[in-house]
Structure 1
Amino acid sequence: MPSGLNEAKQVHFIGAEDWGDSGAFNSLCSDFGFQRGDSSEEVCPLYEYQQQEHQQQSNLGYGLIDDLQFDMVFPPVQTCMEETNMLGELPTMFSDVEPRKEKQHFPFASLELLNNYGSGFKRLNGERKIEPLPLDDFIGTDVVGKKLSTEETVRVAGTRFIQSSSQTADLHPVLSHPFGFSFSGLSDEEIKDVELVEVLLSSAEKVGYQQFDRARKLLKQCDSLASNTGNPIQRVVFYFTEALRERIHRETGRITSKDLEKKQPFDVDKAMMGPNPAVLACHEELPFSQVVQFTGIQAIVENVAEAKKIHIIDFAIKNGIQWTVLMQALASRNQCPLELLKITAVGTTSVHLLEDTGKRLMSFAQTMNIPLSFKIVMVSDMLHLKEDLFDLDVEEAIAVYCEFILRSMIAQPDHLESVMKVIRNIYPCVMVVIEVEANHNSTSFVNRFTEALFYFSAFFDCLETFMKKNDPNRMIIESLYLNAGIRNIVATEGPERNIRHVKIDVWRAFFARFGMTETELSMSNLYQANLVVKKFSCGSSFTLAMNGKSLILGWKGAHLHSVSVWTFL
């Protein structure tokens, strides 16, 4: 291990009050240290994340790099729609198509999803690893007496639901399960949770059949058991119940087009552009955003190590806090002094919020003695984005940063293709892509519902670990941010369904069309990403895994986010 790993440089921040009243910015930024090391050694300039507000430098035991145990995962290719040809045209890969007219059988349609979803929950030496497992791998594992996670509860409920719905059990030998039709080994609370999810799945089945009266009765049962202030299962069922009820109202005409025009949906992307206290609290208290940003920025640092002029093009800058980390890393460079850091924010709305972000970054740059130029490229439509709108310099190293932005254009494949052509023409030295690792773009309602239920169940479980039940920031994250995703995925169709996610395999096939090649994350990057995780009290629940050259972040076996780094041939 390089000796520099045991050294840290403290950086004092001033002007943190400009980032909001929550104090989260000061805690987030001031707790990042940066290494000093000999240039001949491979030393990561982004260091460890400390969680205390006023932290003095201390000697930390980092252990051996062998302790990382990154699980190599190569799951089956899952496309954005079941009928997709991975080598087809762009509209075939990402665009929505007219749903099938015939009614879908929920149990059979969702059998493969329930059997292959992300992982099993095999326990080895008390740890859970991300690896695809059939449901019959529950047999022989030590699950009795251990509390089920939210995602595991959904799997048990789904298995029981399919078993009870199937008329010919011999068609489903893979669905053998130690719990079977009994609740042996489960606590009273877990039994109630499993039953609640079964009722939710049954109501979704009836919605898929367009048996709305029967679905409403089942949703009333959910209402009596679910709660937005209860345990994670009760909370997630509460919001899925609302989404199913909204879907029924849409399909039966109880919600008209005029009603929809009056009702302004919560804009998640816009809400995350400012120094929102709930968002900053989520960033500070949960590992996900810190790890993905840390990993992505470290990849940029490594690719611009010898550049004196650096140009960052951010397609979703939000509150911009990620670039304070980059500035600290650049300020610690001794071998290659920085002449200019240029940050260009791309946007289509809320220019005043982008300007506020720029002011905060400029103020921060002054405290770090970083020569910063902040520019905004504002277009009314992403189709109007052209490379000549960017102030490009042949002497600068260009890095493109896309955090949860490309998925917003999946519903408009012409926009996505146009943006990718612009990026290719800019020819950056590196492009970082951070996305949701889930398939929420299926044209099959029941399959999309099942995928979304697993994904959000894991997220609600994670919130339960890090935030108190009555934490106002948790209530805001669940009721506004997560609820907006659930409702859009479950209740809407066509162009209105704009929250769509596809997995890394789909992005990988798509990027190949533009001459992009996936880049390996350095071992130093992975090692120190793991250090960030270890600063949170989550044991082995938070998982890091590799899919090809991409980093997959998960929670108790469920994949949630991906970080991939790309260069152009």
Structure 2
Amino acid sequence: MWVLNNVASSVGDPNQRLTSCFLRALISRASSVCPTTMSFNSSSTIHRRLMSVTELAGYVDLIPWHRFGFCASNSAIFKAIQGCPRVHILDFSITHCMQWPTLIDALAKRPEGPPSLRITVPSCRPLVPPLLNVSTEEVGLRLGNFAKFRDVPFEFNIIDVDTSSLLSHLTPSILNLRDDEVLVVNCQNWLRYLSDETMGSAHQDASLRDTFLDIIKGLNPCIIVVVDEDSDLSAPSLTSRITTCFNYLWIPFDALETFLPKDSYQRLEYESDIGHKIENIISFEGFQRIERLESGAKMCQRVKNVGFFSIPFSEETVREVKFLLDEHASGWGMKREEDMLVLTWKGHNSVFATAWVPNGLED
């Protein structure tokens, strides 16, 4: 760690900046085991703060890490609800509904006219970046104003629930599911925050993640989209997590190097948020380790085991995603894998997108 401290720098090249994040995470872990561990220089660390809506939009647009999932998901959802006059989206996301203005805009241009759109979100959210300085209610009001401007009938609902009781609130009555609406379930960088450890006999040894998917299947959605980062960071072995994490999270550091100066505050803030993730992966164990990401292949198998069938992304979706990536650095690309559309950086998998229907509804 002393050697790393001499080469790590939060304003150096991508490897030095990534090393700096790992060093802070290792120091944090060592300090919890041995409180007398000497502190290292971490004065350049940027503390997480609450962003304005405008700043959040810039944060999301910085690299296609989030926008790739928005684009692929919205295109799949748009196709799935063609001809449907009333649509209800159950939204589980960490990006404060930033996905929906684009979909609302597309629905406003639908040849048969826009549907009546209802979006329901849980009041609970993992305490991870990006953090917003306005309430969920305010987000709903802003979406409503935008939908009104685009002449899309709109309703926004919040399920008042905490994380521990979320599953018990996913019922047709509490969600106010309506027979004349089609249901869409959207999971963006969210399932990783549900425990992947088994819960015991009450749920027949199912994990919270599996139980959530099983409950969602019982709601009979017309489509469920699952988007997340394509890496397996849930291993119980610390050594394995360190290796996998380092071999994966170099991607955003390298991508940001291509167009932002080393001292850019926007870059430092984005990298600091990645450092927050690294610290949780490395420094914590048990229930404190909430970053439990699994690879796209593992997630696909999990969703299949519950009884969902994969929907292939259309050529139109592929074109839309390619058009999006053209707005970013040339290192970004896309490829198809068995059940996934995958965002790549210099050929390395970074984010996967998948779309599913319940057993028997794949036609």
| TM-score calculated relative to the size of structure 2 | 0.86
Match of 2:79 in 1: 302
Matches within 5 A, 1:124-163: none
Q: Deviations over 1:31-71 (max 9, x none)?
A: xxxxxxxxxxxxxxxxxxxxxxxxxxxxxxxxxxxxxxxxx
Corresponding residue of 1:383: 167
- 1:223 equivalent in structure 2: 5
Residues 307 and 397 of structure 1 are in contact (CA less than 8 Å); yes or no, is this contact kept in structure 2? Answer: yes
TM-aligned CA deviation for residue 246 of structure 1: 1.6
Choose which of 278, 298, 321 in structure 1 pairs with 2:98: 321
Is 1:234 the counterpart of 2:16? The answer is: yes
Deviation of 1:253 after TM superposition, in Å, equals 4.3
Question: Cα offset for 1:295?
Answer: 0.8
Offset at residue 379 of structure 1 (A): 1.2
Question: Residues 271 and 440 from structure 1, CA distance in 2 versus in 1: closer, same or farther, beyond 3 angstroms?
Answer: farther
* Conserved 8 A contact 1:285-1:466: no
Name the CA distance, whole Å, in 2 between partners of 1:499 and 1:444.
14
1:483 aligned partner: 275
Aligned to 1:283: 60
Alignment deviations for residues 406-436 of structure 1 (CA, whole Å, 9 cap, x no partner)? 0000355543233223211211100010111
**RMSD of aligned residue pairs (Cα, Å):** 2.3
Kindly tell me the number of residue pairs found equivalent between the two proteins: 334
Matched residue of 2:180: which SS?
Answer: coil
Q: CA deviation at 1:384?
A: 2.5
Task: Please give the TM-score of this superposition, normalised by the length of structure 1.
Answer: 0.56
Tell me if structure 2 keeps the 8 A contact 1:324–1:361: yes
Please tell me whether residue 525 in structure 1 is matched to residue 317 in structure 2.
Answer: yes
Distance 1:490 1:448 in 2: 7
Mapping of 1:463-542 within 5 angstroms? Answer: 463-479=256-272, 481-536=273-328, 538-539=329-330, 541-542=331-332
Return the offset for 1:276.
6.3
In the TM superposition, 1:197-208 aligns within 5 A as: none
In structure 2, the residue corresponding to 1:466 is in which secondary structure?
Answer: coil
Please tell me the residue identity of whatever aligns with 2:334: L
Q: Report what 2:180 is aligned to.
A: 395
CA distance in 1, matches of 2:321, 2:287: 37
Shift of 1:267: 11
What is the DSSP-based 3-state SS (H/G/I as helix, E as strand, rest coil) of the residue aligned with 1:513?
helix
Matched residue SS, 2:258: helix
Shift of 1:301: 0.1
Which protein has the larger Cα radius of gyration, Structure 1 or Structure 2?
1
Secondary structure of 2:336's counterpart equals strand
How far does residue 517 in structure 1 lie from its aligned partner after superposition? 0.7
Q: Which amino acid aligns with 1:320?
A: C
Q: Distance in 2 between matches of 1:332 and 1:518?
A: 28
Using the TM superposition, name which of 323-332 and 287-296 deviates more.
287-296
State the Cα deviation string for residues 438-467 of structure 1 (Å, max 9, x = none): 011111111110100011111100111132
CA distance in 2, matches of 1:280, 1:455: 25
Change (3 A) 1:355 1:412: farther
Equivalent in the alignment of 1:107: none
Q: Within 2, Cα distance between the matches of 1:494 and 1:411?
A: 11
SS in structure 2 at match of 1:498: coil
Q: Contact 1:385/1:419 (CA < 8 Å) preserved in 2? A: no
Match of 1:429 in 2: 222
Residue pair 1:341, 1:371 contacting (<8 A) in 2 also: yes
Task: Choose from 340, 344, 349 the match for 2:116.
Answer: 340
Post-superposition offset of 1:495: 1.4
Match of 1:555 in 2: 345
Runs of 4+ deviating beyond 6 Å:
none
For 1:267 and 1:431, locate their aligned partners in 2 and report how far apart those are by CA, in whole Å.
35
Query: CA separation in 1, counterparts of 2:304 and 2:345?
Result: 29
Whether the aligned pair in 2 keeps the contact of 1:341 and 1:370 (CA below 8 Å) is yes
Q: Which moved more, 1:541-550 or 1:302-311?
A: 541-550
Aligned-partner residue type, residue 290 of structure 2: N
1:494 shift after superposition: 1.5
Moved more, 410-419 or 236-245: 410-419
The aligned amino acid for 1:343 is I
3-state SS, counterpart of residue 391 of structure 1:
coil
In 2, Cα distance between the equivalents of 1:285 and 1:429?
32
Please give the alpha-carbon distance, in whole angstroms, between the structure 1 residues aligned to 2:250 and 2:5: 17
Matches within 5 A, 1:6-85: none
- Rounded to whole Å, the distance in 2 between the matches of 1:504 and 1:330 is 29
Q: Take 2:135 and 2:259, find their aligned partners in 1: how far apart are those partners?
A: 29
Q: Is residue 340–residue 372 contact of structure 1 (8 Å, CA) maintained in 2?
A: yes
Distance 1:271 1:421 in 2: 34
Q: Is the 8 A contact 2:232 2:294 kept in 1?
A: yes
**1:367 partner amino acid:** F
